[in-house]
Structure 1
Amino acid sequence: MKRNATAVWTGSLKEGAGKLTTQSTTLENTQYSFKSRFEEGVGTNPEELVAAAHSGCFTMQLSAYISEGGFEIESIETKCDINLVEGTIIESHLTVTAKVKGIANEAFQELVTKAEKNCPISKLFNTEISTTATLV
């Protein structure tokens, strides 16, 4: 399986602007800029998209592990915070809240750790990954 996205940028770093388009066209000529990345401009930015990719990938991986264990998932919600410092992503932190019928917290935490280490986006990163997980 291969997926793709295209970025087109015009102008200088600070005054220029870009557009992102994904293969699925979920993003289609979506605006991004220096302001949307480092200030409060309109549009998306690479770190926000990385956070979306990591939270989505992790959540699907956790869902697979929970289902394999024979538990019924009511919901899983994952927020990802990407920490960019001096041009380097130094951390991806996942905050997970899940409703799963019949699972003990200890078993849930083990599956969270397993998903954190094994989702394809986690494997892609060369940074610290941490997780806070709550079973409700």
Structure 2
Amino acid sequence: MRSDVIEIRTGDREAVVDLTAQIDAFLAAGDGGDGLLHVWVPHATAGIAVIETGAGSDTDLLAALRDLLPADDRWGHRHGSAGHGRDHVLPGIVAPSMTVPVLGGRPALGTWQSVCLVDTNTDNPVRSVRLSFLAG
């Protein structure tokens, strides 16, 4: 198994960040074989999703999450910025990890699919993402 951590700067805004280029670089540094890539974000307020980016789906996802998880005072978890409790519910909806098959050293994603970090927590400007490859 091979593993590495990348840092992603999301700043002070909600973000869907495409990780596909970093994943491609991580896999290219290996032996080019088949296996499984595990993507893990070790944070209580972020998740990993496969989604199309650049055509509006990423902003649509953030809008849907705002509708589903409003940033208001309904949340029992109340530290941080207003409505921060919703950020702690996010990983129950957008899981903090996923596994992607790798074929010939490339993630076996569909034509329009990208692996993305989903982060609604504006209090945390930098995220770590662990990439782990298990050769088949």
Normalising by the smaller structure, the TM-score range is under 0.3
Larger Rg: 1
Give the TM-score taking structure 1 as reference length.
Answer: 0.24
The structure that is helix-richer by fraction is 1
